[in-house]
Structure formats: structure tokens, C-alpha cells
Chain A
């Protein structure tokens, strides 16, 4: 999207950018996962799920980068 063919003004607008909202909002909805059970490898839900959100963040930013390159 930002490749900018000659004559076309460049922009960083793209529908793909909406994907960035997911990893911003998800970790902030603490009321959804503020709980001990179910545990994973001994980690309470509150801890393992937030660590798992790192993967969501990496996936979303990578997709947006690739699709708007």
C-alpha cells in the first residue's frame, strides 16, 4: 500500500491496519481472564493467557507489515 506508484500520492492507510486493534484491545479486557482456572503447565489462566497474547501481537503486526509492504 505504501509502495507508491508514480503519480499516486503515498499513504499509510490500509484496511489491514484494523488488525492492529486486536492486540491492543485484547490484553486490556482483564475481566475476561482474571481467573486462576484453567491452569496450563501450572500457570493460572491470568498469567498464561497474557503470555499467549504476545503471539497474537506478533502475528497481527507481522501480517500488517507483509500485506502493506
Chain B
């Protein structure tokens, strides 16, 4: 413990600083009244380009990403680098889609993707399916942020769960009080720290290891020496399709997550979103460089922390920092990861709480809920969600959360036809969408069940690389399971739509108009949500 005193002191000081900011945030850009979801859950829907950039960046590039992506590069090589093309592809992909989502949401006061589906397809059942899918996909993601903090604590030699419980209790308290304003304000500190740490890491560490050439050569030597077919410093014939479909499938999924949309809907105008689509790739650069920390760890001969005989590769980056940096700077780096967990955890719990409030509480429990009641329910649920995440980590094997998050990516993709395609076309029948959603989920779960992980001896849910040989093809090629599941979803939704239309099954009514999808700030139908009631 004593060897880590400096690191610990720096870590705790920075942690206390952002906790203070979290509480003060309730007075930042203060509205007359925080008691509505537009204020508590969406920060007044008034964030400009800068705040939105920090907020969405802080939200999408999570502590878990910073820990798990280099860990994957460390153990598999090139395949782990999928995170870079994934975050290059995503912004041009959603450039037009998110602008439409912003417009229609501001005209109608939508807070969640399920709100939109409810109005567009006139189906509470479909909206409920979308909401539950979002909740199930988000919950393990919150738990994983704890895994990120835990990796840092482990590297500092701290074991036991008390520090995590304290950290999450503080987080829960200021999220309860300040809502989305808390993570928006803390994101400034988080991102500043991350940029400083990464800049230092990519200059300082390669200099100590003899340059990038020798880092990549060391990695190549390691992968050439292992018998595993899936790893290597380059892709091979068998995992190239997996790399491409994983990058593309993850890009399709990213903005279907409720918490990503929370950041988008909190922005002030369409222009803010479009400008951010050009500016957010700055984080992709950071992520790409972070991924390469995995190779640096190979070249430096870093060993992950081992507990109970099992090596935890998630500790590889913290251990690399510990090995390379002076103590005080390692403390800063650890704080960057720790605080990096708080921002997304706060936004995710707010998004999950909003889903429950809008699409379950308001739909099924209290149809005439006032703004204040909605905000009250959301605040309480955000607490429940965080307690649930902590319990997940305390009571279950963390591996369970990692599996669930993997599944989460596959199942959130199944909301694409309703949420993303729904912004473009009303052609699908509401029941067709439900059928496609169910078929996609079933196919996705079946494929994930069939995927083993030889590295840790798991028989099922061992990854997302589905072997095409399972479908009778004579090949060793693998493909991202979510991608195939989405294809099943789309085919079933389209076929069912044709059948339901032909047999004249009643469809829901569309509450949106064409012009709603292009409305912008200042238009008469885009009300100032900060001043008026949402309904």
C-alpha cells in the first residue's frame, strides 16, 4: 500500500474536486425550476457546441473503453483496433439521422427513443419493447464502469468493495441533485485529464521503449510466437469479416443506446449536432492512441494483476502507467480513468431512469403524471439503477457484466428498424417491427450462445465472433453476431409488414408530420422547452 501513497493522494484529491463540481452543477445555468425531465434529465435542452462536445465525448468514450480496448489489443492485436474504424464510421453514418431525431424530439417533447417510437407508430407495445431493450442494454454498461474503477484500484493495491461503494454513493447523490448538469460539468475535467495523460503517454512511453518501430516489432514477435489463430499484428483471412462487421455493427448500435441520445437531445439546435459530428472524431484519435497502449504494454513486458490465480487483463493499462510514469502522474492517469467512469455512469443512469419514467411509469402507472412527478420518479430510479449496478458487481462475477454488455450491443441493434429507419420511413407495420425485433433478439441470443471462448474455457457467450461454419459453410471465417441478427430482424420485419398489410391488420396512427423532422431552433413549433411545460 505504501508504495502507492502518492498515487492514492492525487487520485483522491482529483476525485473530491469533481465530486464538489457535481454538487455545484445544480446551480450552473440555473433554471427557475429543476423539477421537470427537460431540466433534470436534459439539462434544459440548451447546451451549445462546446458543452455538447464534452458531454457526448465524455459519454461515449467511457472508462471501460479506455481499459478494455487496449486490453483486447494486448491479447489479440489488430482485432482490438476495430474501435478506431468504428468511431470513424459512426459520425458520417448518423450525421443526418441525429439531426432528424433532434428535430422531431424537440417538436414533440420526446425524452427517450421509445417516446419517438410510441408517437411514430402509435404502438405502446412496440414502445415498451424498445424501452425494455434500452434498459437491459444500458444496465450492464453502468456496471462495467465500476469494472473500470476497480481496475485502477487494483493497480493501486486496493482490494475490497468499500471504495467502490463510496464512489458510487457520492455519484448517486450529485446525480440525484443536479441531473444531467453534473456529468456535463464534470466532463470538462475528465476530458482535460484524459487528453493530458494520453499526450504524455504517446510521447513519453515510446521514447522509453525505443520508439514506435520497436513497439510494433515486439508485438509482432509476441503474436507470431503464439499458436492462437485469431491474434496477430495484422488481420488474417478468418477475422477480417469479423473486424469489418464488428466496426460497422458497433457504429450502427452506438447512437441507439438511450444514453447517447440523451446527450444529443440536450443540445440547443441541429447545427450544434452537425458541428459535433465533425468535432467528435478528436476523441477517436485519442481512442486509437489508447488502443496502442496495449502494444506498449507488450513491448514493456507489463504483467496484469493476478487475483486468485486469474490474470485480469483489464489491469494492463493501469499497470503500464504504474511501471512507466512517476508516481504523481500515475495518480493523475488513474484519476482520469476513475472520473472517466463517473461521467458515463451518471448519463447512463439518467437515460435509464428517463426510459422507465416516460415509457413505463407514465404509460402504465400514472397516465396524468405532472412534470414534477416525472422528474421525481426519474431521480429515484436513477438511484435504484446505480444500486443495481453496484450489486451486480458485488454479488455476481464481473465476467457476467462483461457478457451482458456484449449481449447488450447485439440487442440494442434490434431497435434500429423502429428508431433509426423510423426516422426515414413509416412503411413498416407496427406489428411487423415487433416481429422483426423478436426474431432478431432470438437469432442474436442463439448465436451468442454458440460462441465459445477457448482463452478462458467458456463454452457459451464467449465473444461476438460467430463462426460461419455453424450455418453449414465450409470456412473458418467469423462474423459479428449482432450484424447477422440485424439482418434477420430486417427480413422478418419486411416480410411481416407485407403480410400484415395484405391481410389488412390495423396499423397504428402516426402522430408526427413531415415538417417535424426538419424543424430547427427558433421555429414556432420548437417551443422553448426550458420555459414551457412539455405537454
Chain A interface residues toward B at CB < 8 A: 2, 4, 9-12, 17, 20-24, 27-28, 30-31, 34-36, 39, 41-44, 46-47, 50-51, 53-54, 56-58, 60-62, 64-65, 69
Q: Name the residue of chain A whose CB is nearest to the CB of B100.
A: A12
**The 3 residue pairs across chains A and B that have the minimum distance between CB atoms:** A42-B212, A27-B85, A42-B213
Q: How many residues of B contact A (CB 8 A)?
A: 46
Residues of B within 8 A of A31 (CB): 240
Main secondary structure of the interface of B (DSSP, over half): helix
- Asked if A23 and B248 sit within 8 Å, CB to CB, the answer is no
What separation, in Å, do the CA atoms of A1 and B221 have in the docked complex? 53
Q: Are B88 and A27 in contact (CB under 8 A)?
A: yes
CB distance from B73 to the nearest CB of A (A): 10
Residue-wise interface mask of B (433-467) relative to A, using a CB-CB cutoff of 8 A (1 in contact, 0 not)? 00000000000000000000000000000000000
State the CA gap A11–B215 with chains docked (Å): 50
Contact B93 A24 (CB under 8 A): yes
B288 x A51 contact (CB < 8 A): yes
Chain B, 264-279, contact with A by CB distance < 8 Å: what is the 0/1 string?
Answer: 0000001100110111
Interface of chain A, main secondary structure: helix
B233 contacts the other chain (Cβ, under 8 Å)? yes
A61 touches B212 (CB 8 A): no
Partner of B240, one of A9, A10, A30, A57: A30
Q: Considering the chains assembled together, what is the distance between the CA atoms of A62 and B277 in angstroms?
A: 8
Q: Are A50 and B88 in contact (CB under 8 A)?
A: yes
Within 8 A of A (CB), among B85-123: 85, 88-89, 91-93, 95-96, 99-100
**Nearest Cβ on chain A to B410's Cβ, whole angstroms:** 19
Q: Is the CB of B233 within 8 A of A36?
A: yes
Contact (Cβ within 8 A) B275 A65: yes
Instruction: From B234, B270, B284, B515, name the one whose CB has the most chain A CB atoms within 10 angstroms.
Output: B234
Could you list which residues of chain B lie within 8 angstroms of chain A, going by C-beta atoms? Answer: 78, 81, 84-85, 88-89, 91-93, 95-96, 99-100, 206, 211-216, 220, 233-235, 240, 243-244, 247-248, 270-271, 274-275, 277-279, 281, 284-285, 288, 292, 514-515, 517-518, 520
Specify which of B274, B281, B517, B520 is in contact with A65 (CB 8 Å cutoff).
B274
Of the candidates B96, B206, B292, the one whose C-beta lies within 8 Å of that of A47 is: B292
9 contacts across the A-B interface (CB closer than 8 A): A2-B518, A2-B520, A9-B514, A23-B92, A28-B247, A34-B234, A43-B212, A46-B233, A47-B81
Residue of A nearest to B277 (CB): A61
Minimum CB–CB distance for B241 against chain A, Å: 9
- Are A53 and B85 also in contact (CB < 8 A) when A12-B100, A20-B92, A42-B212 are? yes
Report the minimal beta-carbon distance from A5 to chain B, rounded to whole angstroms. Answer: 13
User: Within the assembled complex, what's the spacing in Å between the Cα atoms of A43 and B219?
Assistant: 12
Q: Is the CB of A34 within 8 A of B278?
A: no
Residue of A11, A50, A64 near B81 (CB, 8 A) is A50
Instruction: Report yes or no: A30 in contact with B244, Cβ–Cβ below 8 A.
Output: yes
Q: Is there contact, CB below 8 Å, between A28 and B85?
A: yes
Expressed in whole angstroms, the Cα–Cα distance for A37 and B56 within the complex equals 36
B274 cross-chain contacts in A, Cβ below 8 A: 61, 65
Return B225 CB to nearest CB of chain A, in Å: 17
Contact A61 B84 (CB under 8 A): no
For residue B525, give the distance in angstroms from its CB to the closest CB of chain A. 12
- Chain B residues contacting A4 (CB-CB under 8 Å) are 518
A62 to B214, CA, bound (A): 36
